[in-house]
Amino acid sequence: MSNLPQSIVYIVDDDVSVREALSDLLESVGIKSVLYTSADDFLSSPRLDCPSCLILDVRMPGQSGLELQNTLNAMKISIPILFITAHGDIPMSVRALKNGAVDFLTKPFSDQVLLDSLHSALEWHKAERERYQERCVLQERYESLNVGEREVFRLVVRGLLNKQIAGLLGVSEITVKVRRGHVMRKMACNSLACLVRAHDYLFA
């Protein structure tokens, strides 16, 4: 059995001295890291299934840090990104942050500033992963509903009575009750309140 680390930080920088300095710093506070020399290097390697953060140099040969950020966003990969740079400018930092980066540090920076930013990023990703997991569970349950059950689901959480739903769907009220029971069981809800929240979370 492979035991996953509690968290991991991916470091992508073409400068070996920067990579190793960062890696040493993180190791000194008990944070595991994996090093990459380029964006493609990172993209072609597997990511571990645990809370993580990406420390990214803005300027690199090949795909730049900002381009990698766009790539990951397009892939809907939610790993938080912390940029570091020696030769950045304001438009770069603005673009990075508007695209969701958690921070944008200029060298030289204080170790503590980096570690603080990193910790909050890892905490965020931990929570984000839990939200994603919960959402996946709900999604699976929803996909187990057939068409009729989904229609009843939609109308029930809009506050309609069984009688009204039956009228709208052109089926008997008994059928609505049966479908409604199936929805409750399949969505693993024991109350209408729970069902409403499940629905709104799925279709937010």
Partner DNA sequence: TATGTGCTTATACTTATGCATGATTGATCG
Partner DNA sequence: CGATCAATCATGCATAAGTATAAGCACATA
Q: Which helix (H) or strand (E) holds 34?
A: strand 32-36
Q: 86: closest CA among 106, 103, 67, 109?
A: 106
Q: Residue 151 and residue 175: Cα distance in Å, rounded?
A: 12
CB of 189 vs a copy of itself, minimal distance in Å: 8
The footprint of DNA on this chain (CB under 7 A) covers a number of residues equal to 17
Q: Contact between 184 and DNA (CB under 7 A)?
A: yes
Please report, as residue ranges, which positions from 56 to 115 form the binding site for DNA (by CB under 7 A).
Answer: none
CB of 97 vs DNA, minimal distance in Å: 47
Measure CA 84 to chain center.
Answer: 22
**Helix extents (H) in the chain:** 16-28, 39-43, 65-74, 90-98, 111-143, 147-156, 162-169, 173-186, 192-202
Q: Contact between 191 and a copy of itself (CB under 8 A)?
A: yes
Q: Which pairs from 112-116 meet CB under 8 Å and 24+ separation?
A: 114/25, 114/82, 114/84, 115/25, 115/29
Binding mask 85-124 for a copy of itself (x = CB under 8 A): ---xxxx-xx--xx----xxxx------------------
In the list a copy of itself, DNA, none, the entry touching 184 (Cβ below 5 to 8 angstroms by class) is DNA
Which of 131, 158, 163, 185 is close enough to bind a copy of itself by CB under 8 A? 158
Measure CA 91 to chain center.
Answer: 26
CB of 157 vs a copy of itself, minimal distance in Å: 5
Q: Contact between 196 and DNA (CB under 7 A)?
A: no
CA-derived radius of gyration, the chain: 23
CB of 93 vs a copy of itself, minimal distance in Å: 5
Angle at 73 between CA 94 and CA 27, to 5 degrees: 80
Q: 96: closest CA among 52, 130, 64?
A: 64
Which range in 11-19, 46-54, 165-173, 187-195 contacts a copy of itself by CB under 8 A?
187-195
Binding site for DNA (CB under 7 A): 146, 148, 161-163, 171-175, 177-181, 184, 192
Binding site for a copy of itself (CB under 8 A): 88-91, 93-94, 97-98, 103-106, 156-160, 190-194, 196-197, 200
